[in-house]
Amino acid sequence: MDNEQRIIKKFFSPLAKNRESLNLKNDAAFLKDKNFVISTDMMIEDQHFTKDYNAKTIAKKLLRINLSDIAAMGAKPYGFFLNIAIPKMNINQWLGNFVNGLKSDMKKFNLKLFGGDLSFSSKIFLNITILGKTNNVCHSSNIAKTNSDIYVSGNIGDAPLGLKLKNNFSSLECLNINKQKLIEKFELPKPRLEIGKRLLNHAEFCTDISDGLLRELNHIAHQSSKQANIFLDRIPTSFAVKDVLKKNNKKIIWEIILSGGEDYELLFSVPKKTKIKNKIKKISNIGYFSKGKGIKIFDTNGNEFFVKKKGFSHF
């Protein structure tokens, strides 16, 4: 367990002993009687972005990281509440850009703005609470079984490498066009709403990879009392990530791919031999659960691959 989980377990789980909270172990709360899921996520200046980021892109990312939780629950986007605290300087220009981004993604994802709160603050603080509609069922479990296959959607590693490149982590070599692609993946994640819905009644658990593949997988392995086994050569990567892997220290890059956050792909498991790939596109089987605990990663030669840090914790 990392510090963030320890804080949640120590201080907040004891206050959340109700059916709706799902013990704070899922991406959203489930109000079953009302057929709703609700989730909330923040973005804070100097923690998730810096002052020079484009407000239009920030607005879209803020919506999308919240939509990613709706995707992970297998729900349908409905509406949201917005909290904005911003400095007074250039407020009209900043809000104009921000609202442009919001408007465009609200249309794209069919979302309604229900309300919010506005305040002054020396640093930018943003928060969305989002509601999704369900049809009696959602991904409310977070337990995997022995021998179940582990899957991810899309490609892994684009966003954490994009973040390094955006912040001019100068030693990274790659083609300029790939640099742009990776940064774009960091800035504009794609919430996997369709995949999340199609996995209903198939997946044992489903979560989004917001704080790194290994961290999310570690949670699930711990909660399920299982060992997760994954294989480097099965981790799906984009051409851009392959370019970075080729031109830089492979071990360092793999650590970033596996442990870095911000990918917002889905991580889920299905019982062994479920032919889920026949039903759903853009997903990859990356390993399986076995008896034991923790995570084992295997490289292309079948040797164990060790990483220093298993994902991102705020504390």
Footprint of its own copies (CB under 8 A) = 4, 7-8, 11-12, 15-16, 18, 20-21, 24, 28-29, 31, 34, 36, 38-42, 44, 46-48, 79, 81-83, 85, 88, 91, 95-96, 98-99, 102-103, 106, 112-123, 125, 127, 129, 314-315
Give bridge partners of residue 119 from the DSSP assignment: 85
Q: How far is the CB of 113 from its own copies (least distance, A)?
A: 4
C-alpha–C-alpha distance, residues 259 and 223, integer Å: 19
Q: How far is the CB of 86 from its own copies (least distance, A)?
A: 9
C-alpha–C-alpha distance, residues 225 and 138, integer Å: 22
Q: How far is the CB of 84 from its own copies (least distance, A)?
A: 9
Q: How far is the CB of 262 from its own copies (least distance, A)?
A: 14
Query: How many CA atoms are closer than 13 Å to the CA of 4, on its beta-carbon side?
Result: 12
283: alpha, beta or left? (left if phi > 0; alpha if psi -120 to 50): beta
106 or 150: whose CB is closer to its own copies? 106
111 or 203: whose CB is closer to its own copies? 111
C-alpha–C-alpha distance, residues 154 and 283, integer Å: 6
18 or 176: whose CB is closer to its own copies? 18
CB burial of residue 302 (10 Å; 0-12, 13-18, 19+) = exposed
15 or 302: whose CB is closer to its own copies? 15
Q: How far is the CB of 22 from its own copies (least distance, A)?
A: 8
Q: How far is the CB of 215 from its own copies (least distance, A)?
A: 14
Cβ neighbours of residue 26 closer than 8 Å, sequence gap 6 or more:
72, 73, 139, 140, 142, 207
63 or 270: whose CB is closer to its own copies? 63
Residue type at position 238:
S
Q: Is there a contact between 69 and 130 (Cβ–Cβ < 8 Å)?
A: yes
39 or 155: whose CB is closer to its own copies? 39
